[in-house]
Chains A and B, each alone.
Chain A
Amino acid sequence: MVTSSPSVVVVTGVSRYLGARVAARLAADPRIDRVVGLDPHDPPARLLGLLDGVERIRADARAATEAIADLGAEALVHLAVTSVPDAEHGGRSGMKEQNVIGTMQVLAAAQGAPKLRKLVVRSSTAAYGASFRDPAVFTEDTEPRAVPRGPFARDILDIEGYVRGFRRRRPEVAATVLRFAPMISSSAETSLTRYFAQPVVPTVLGRDARLQFVHVDDALEVLHRSVTENHPGTFNVAGSGVLMLSQAVRRAGRVAVPLPESGLSTAASLARYLGVEQIGLDQIDLFVHGRVVDTSRLIREFGFTPRSTATAFEEFIQAHAAGSSLTADRLAAAEHAILDGIRRVRAAAEGDPAHPAKSRA
């Protein structure tokens, strides 16, 4: 098997933040001659600057079939996987179209591309589903106990199913599936970063999920290495360590509002009909069950350790200080004020013989 970098790389989903960043990074790598970005949509203006060195082809997944074979692609990076319905691109049906049908067609094209030797697919830790009988820490071999109810998690299971089929039909292609924890960074905008950026954060009553994040830069590094190096298999990508949801909300200096789960689920389904997708069933499942993965396989195989969940989250907090109310500094100030107040009252009581200081102030 050839282990050198591929010369022609096709990246799907370049109209989105992650796809654009990956394509730009691959284009900057001197070992790669040509990077082609496939996307049915035009990237927004703020991402256009990134895509200077990338040839862009505006094509939907069906047209991509020919493009991938014609270009002589040696590596295919499939990043056109959406986690939240986007009202601009057709809501949930558009999301499913892109995730499931899109992956099916891209993989069919990959199967017919004779020169292809590498396939990298973006997946998510949502692939483990959510159940009360789940183990606390998922390894790559853990099977989901039930079909998840969240639309994104269902799509992810479908996508991974197609990749399994692809592996059977083209065993000589090194297929890498990367199951990413929710991504976070100072600049990236995802549904989760929007959630934590609100001043008042709804949580689930009586549940405190264990969360893990991965820093976007670390996700980029892992994606880049899986194109330039050879790492077939499925890998969890997450920062080590755990933050409880309540702990994360407190560290961000936000105020948590616990709501009963049944009410949240109803509100989520109502919101879906209204087209507001602030919080969906995927998020509720995550917040009820939590999701922690084992990353030792990634660290062993890639020789790379993503920064810890706490570090990644800290960087995000720094960039989103606006809107926080209960910050660590203010709490420390309050602590000093209360302590000083108590001491002053006690000192006054001690000095006054009429009120001997005997009990707690």
Chain B
Amino acid sequence: MSQDEYRDMLPGHADFRLPEPSPPKKLNGRRPIPEKPAPEPVVEEPAVASAEPAPTGLDLWDRRVADGLAFLRRRLAGAYEVDEFGFDPELTAAVLHPMLRVLYRDWFRTEVFGIENVPAESGGLVVGNHSGTVALDALMLTVALHDNHPSRRHLRLLGADLVFRVPGMSELARAAGATVACNPDAERLMTNNQLVGVFPEGFKGIGKKFSERYKLQRFGRGGFVSAALRTGTPIIPVAIVGAEEIYPILADLKPLARLLGVPYFPVTPTFPWLGPLGLIPLPSKWLIQFCPPIPTAHLTEYADDPLVVYNLADQVRETIQASLHELLQKRPDPFAR
């Protein structure tokens, strides 16, 4: 039996089709005719309320100072709410997102496509490709979802346990809504109708060399698929283009990595030669494409069937790889505007 024949026999496979590749649209690089660039998604500043008549300069600053002081007072008095995973929506909205937004909007000039494929209220499992030496793509995806989605949804990331071992970083990750990548947490979040973000490539994805850019690595054992199947949550593949170029890994110093207890030790054109300056990411152009959701509600009984799980993981992987190629065609020059 060929692989295609086998797949057609799988339940639910007939419903799923790879997304039609849309005709490539050039977004940067040389253009034959001047065309209007795609409108940037308008990001509303949450700090300033525009309901009242336009405030004068003094009023505006007065309100900003008052808001800032009230925020400080709430933080110091502990008067805020945290969910059972440690997610702190107030801190995320007031401190973490504005910092990431500078990178997202001004540094990486991110453009987002297919946000309508993300469910409005119900749960979903967002599966993306992982790249970029440090997991900046996960953070940018969080901002992209929150700023572009009509219901301002938060992406709840699943992180490697290494993240939660490091003091300081663990608490920042939890406050931003992340939790340890394990099936109980993923299933609990999805049954609470949350959007869960997962990068099945893990360290294989972010630690790969620049020569292997945009080649998806192995997807592990597909644990993310069985979590989705068990809860009947749709899987939304997402392709992220741009993260590969921010810290191009030329070499991986394995002995040093082993000594430091990290999965890899990258050598990029700027790191470690320039010291802390090497930590500044290169300003590549980012494109993020959300693909149509893959329904799993009819497959809940196959959550423990390794073949169904593996094949579904393979489908997700192929969808992401196809969308990556499509996005790369739209972006001939990685560093253009």
Question: Contact residues of A with B, CB < 8 Å?
Answer: 132-137, 139, 142, 204-208, 210, 241-244, 246-251, 261, 290, 292, 326-328, 331-332, 334-335, 338-339, 342-343, 346, 350, 357, 360-361
Q: Is B261 at the interface (CB under 8 A from chain A)?
A: no
A188 to B79, CA, bound (A): 25
Given A208-B171, A338-B69, A360-B61, 14 new contacts (CB under 8 A) = A132-B164, A132-B165, A135-B180, A135-B182, A136-B84, A136-B185, A206-B167, A247-B82, A250-B78, A251-B77, A328-B77, A328-B79, A335-B72, A339-B69
A25 to B159, CA, bound (A): 47
| Chain A residues near B274 (CB-CB < 8 A) | none
Cβ-defined contact, A137 with B185, below 8 A:
yes
Closest partner residue, chain B, to A360 (CB atom)? B61
Q: Is B58 at the interface (CB under 8 A from chain A)?
A: yes
Cβ-defined contact, B66 with A339, below 8 A:
yes
Instruction: Contacts A206-B168, A248-B78 given; indicate if A335 touches B69 (C-beta within 8 A).
Output: yes
Cβ-defined contact, A250 with B76, below 8 A:
yes
Q: Which 6 A-B pairs have the closest CB atoms?
A: A206-B167, A250-B78, A206-B168, A251-B78, A135-B184, A247-B78
Q: Is B73 at the interface (CB under 8 A from chain A)?
A: yes
Chain B 127-143: CB-based contact to A (< 8 A → 1; otherwise 0):
00000000000000000
Cβ-defined contact, B80 with A247, below 8 A:
yes
* Chain B interface residue number, banded: 35 or more
Cβ-defined contact, A331 with B73, below 8 A:
yes
A260 to B239, CA, bound (A): 40
Most B-side CB within 10 Å, residue of A208, A246, A332: A208
Q: Is B62 at the interface (CB under 8 A from chain A)?
A: yes
A334 to B72, CA, bound (A): 11
Q: Is B179 at the interface (CB under 8 A from chain A)?
A: yes
Cβ-defined contact, B86 with A210, below 8 A:
yes
Instruction: Contacts A210-B86, A243-B82, A248-B78 given; indicate if A132 touches B180 (C-beta within 8 A).
Output: yes
| Chain B residues near A328 (CB-CB < 8 A) | 77, 79
| Chain A residues near B61 (CB-CB < 8 A) | 360
- Report which of A136, A142, A207, A335 forms a contact with B180, defined as CB distance below 8 A: A136
A250 to B179, CA, bound (A): 24
Cβ-defined contact, A137 with B184, below 8 A:
yes
Cβ-defined contact, B184 with A142, below 8 A:
yes
A142 to chain B, nearest CB (A): 7
Cβ-defined contact, B84 with A360, below 8 A:
no
Closest partner residue, chain B, to A288 (CB atom)? B167
B231 to chain A, nearest CB (A): 15
Cβ-defined contact, B58 with A350, below 8 A:
yes
Closest partner residue, chain A, to B183 (CB atom)? A135
Instruction: Contacts A210-B86, A357-B58 given; indicate if A342 touches B65 (C-beta within 8 A).
Output: yes
Cβ-defined contact, A326 with B167, below 8 A:
no
| Chain B residues near A246 (CB-CB < 8 A) | 78
A345 to chain B, nearest CB (A): 11
| Chain A residues near B73 (CB-CB < 8 A) | 331-332, 334-335
B100 to chain A, nearest CB (A): 20
A136 to B184, CA, bound (A): 8
B64 to chain A, nearest CB (A): 8
A132 to B84, CA, bound (A): 16
| Chain B residues near A339 (CB-CB < 8 A) | 65-66, 69
Cβ-defined contact, A135 with B165, below 8 A:
no
| Chain B residues near A338 (CB-CB < 8 A) | 69
A210 to chain B, nearest CB (A): 5
Report 18 cross-chain contacts, Cβ distance below 8 Å, ordered by A residue: A132-B180, A135-B182, A136-B86, A136-B188, A204-B167, A208-B86, A210-B85, A242-B84, A250-B78, A251-B77, A328-B77, A335-B72, A335-B73, A339-B66, A342-B62, A343-B62, A360-B65, A361-B65
Q: Is B70 at the interface (CB under 8 A from chain A)?
A: yes
A251 to B66, CA, bound (A): 22
B53 to chain A, nearest CB (A): 20
| Chain A residues near B166 (CB-CB < 8 A) | 206
Q: Is B270 at the interface (CB under 8 A from chain A)?
A: no
A86 to B59, CA, bound (A): 60
Cβ-defined contact, B182 with A133, below 8 A:
yes
Cβ-defined contact, A139 with B184, below 8 A:
yes
| Chain A residues near B305 (CB-CB < 8 A) | none
A134 to B167, CA, bound (A): 16
Interface hits, B168-189 → A, CB 8 Å: 168, 170-171, 174, 179-180, 182, 184-185, 188
A246 to B171, CA, bound (A): 11
Interface hits, B69-111 → A, CB 8 Å: 69-70, 72-73, 75-80, 82-86, 88
Cβ-defined contact, A331 with B182, below 8 A:
no
| Chain B residues near A335 (CB-CB < 8 A) | 69-70, 72-73
Q: Is B161 at the interface (CB under 8 A from chain A)?
A: yes
| Chain A residues near B86 (CB-CB < 8 A) | 136, 208, 210, 242, 244, 290
| Chain B residues near A346 (CB-CB < 8 A) | 58, 62
Cβ-defined contact, B182 with A206, below 8 A:
no
Closest partner residue, chain B, to A336 (CB atom)? B69
| Chain B residues near A204 (CB-CB < 8 A) | 167
A335 to B75, CA, bound (A): 12
Cβ-defined contact, A134 with B84, below 8 A:
no
Closest partner residue, chain A, to B69 (CB atom)? A335
A333 to chain B, nearest CB (A): 10
